[in-house]
Chains A and B, each alone.
Chain A
Amino acid sequence: MVTRLGIVVGIVLAGLALPAAQGQDRIEIVLPRDAIPAIDRPEFVPAARADRDMADEELVIGLVGEQEQRAYSTWQLDRHEIVNDTFEGRPIAVTW
């Protein structure tokens, strides 16, 4: 999801021009690296059990494979942004 990086205490304009950037585009440093921790060892529970921890209107990102389906709560991803996972043998990154 666009625009998802926690509460900003102080915004530092880093002045790092992107090679492909247009005009005054800059990468902005808003937090230290890994201040928002990606999830590297995801654990899963069956949907019926997860239900008690989820709100009806909670947005999820879902993977639908040949055999399996997997969902990730975006409310949870607000605090992690990235899940390094493997789905049906394929290494994937859930990003938000």
Chain B
Amino acid sequence: MYARQVADRTLTFGVSGMLYRDGLVMYDRQTDTLWTQVDGRAVRGALLGRPLDLVPAVHATWKEWLALYPGSQVLRKRGEFRSSYADYNRDGRRLGITGRRNLDARLPGKERILGIRVGNAATAFPLKAVREARLVEAEVGGLPVLLVAAAPTQPVLAYERRVGSRVLTFRLAGDAGRPALRDAETDSTWEIPTGTAVAGPLAGTRLPRATAYPAFWFGWRGYFPATRVWPS
């Protein structure tokens, strides 16, 4: 998810039909620049070298999403009731449509991760491990982040773990039916789906969402070979 505003222009993107390191290559209709989707970078054309700004997004199953955001709007379907990649997604041995090898055995090639990058730093968070931990606090390139999946029925949500320049540390609170977060510094209580403090000294404050990118391990590693893998 990217902002379409680049250097005072508003771009619209199309599918170039090209792949780079097995990731989508987009083009923009205003300047015909080519952009790699995984790292949001202009790789050829007038805007060469420009980055796209990431927009934080939530990645969830429909069931999880609907439970958290029942008042949301949803992109209208016209058919498209099944994934065209169901078989590909299930097959742990198939890496990329052009057939890749997993170059980095830290994780299985098809392991699903959320990738967070800040400047030149990148960390892959294996979704399964984050779900087991329920609450993960980490730093990526100096940015304190929080990943939380408080219940098996909730998606992994990523936030920046700070208010202004103040870094916070969290623990899970609330009851099983309505989990919440509590920070150690002020003892405020935070609602998980919105990252908003609802009680305590910081009531009304909202945590910035972190920009987490969903990927298969081999794909993320292809673009960010020096990535760290949480928890190491």
Docked-complex contact A59 and B73, CB < 8 angstroms? no
How many whole Å from B181's CB to the nearest CB in chain A? 16
**B contact residues, total (Cβ < 8 Å):** 71
**B37: A residues at CB distance < 8 A:** 95
Find the B residue at minimum CB distance from A22.
Answer: B225
Chain A 77-88 against B: per-residue CB contact (8 Å), 1 yes, 0 no?
A: 011111110010
Which residues of B are interface residues toward A (Cβ below 8 A)? 1-5, 10-27, 34, 37-38, 41, 43-44, 48, 52, 55, 57-63, 65-66, 69-77, 80-85, 88, 95-98, 193-194, 209, 214-216, 218-220, 222
Docked-complex contact A3 and B2, CB < 8 angstroms? no
Known contacts A82-B14, A95-B2: A73-B21 contact under CB 8 Å: no
Find the A residue at minimum CB distance from B83.
Answer: A75
Docked-complex contact A91 and B194, CB < 8 angstroms? no
**B25: A residues at CB distance < 8 A:** 27
**A33: B residues at CB distance < 8 A:** 14-17, 27
Tell me the interface secondary structure of chain B in the complex. Answer: mixed
Find the B residue at minimum CB distance from A64.
Answer: B58
Docked-complex contact B3 and A91, CB < 8 angstroms? yes
**A45: B residues at CB distance < 8 A:** 73-74, 76
How many whole Å from A47's CB to the nearest CB in chain B? 5
Known contacts A1-B214, A38-B15: A28-B10 contact under CB 8 Å: no
**A contact residues, total (Cβ < 8 Å):** 75
Q: Which of A1, A8, A46, A73 is within 8 Å of B62, CB to CB?
A: A73
CB pairs A–B below 8 angstroms (26 shown)? A1-B216, A1-B219, A3-B216, A5-B24, A18-B20, A27-B44, A28-B98, A29-B17, A33-B14, A34-B15, A38-B12, A38-B13, A46-B71, A47-B71, A56-B61, A59-B60, A61-B59, A62-B65, A70-B74, A71-B72, A72-B75, A73-B77, A75-B82, A82-B15, A90-B5, A95-B37
Bound Cα distance A43, B24 (Å): 24
Docked-complex contact A71 and B73, CB < 8 angstroms? yes
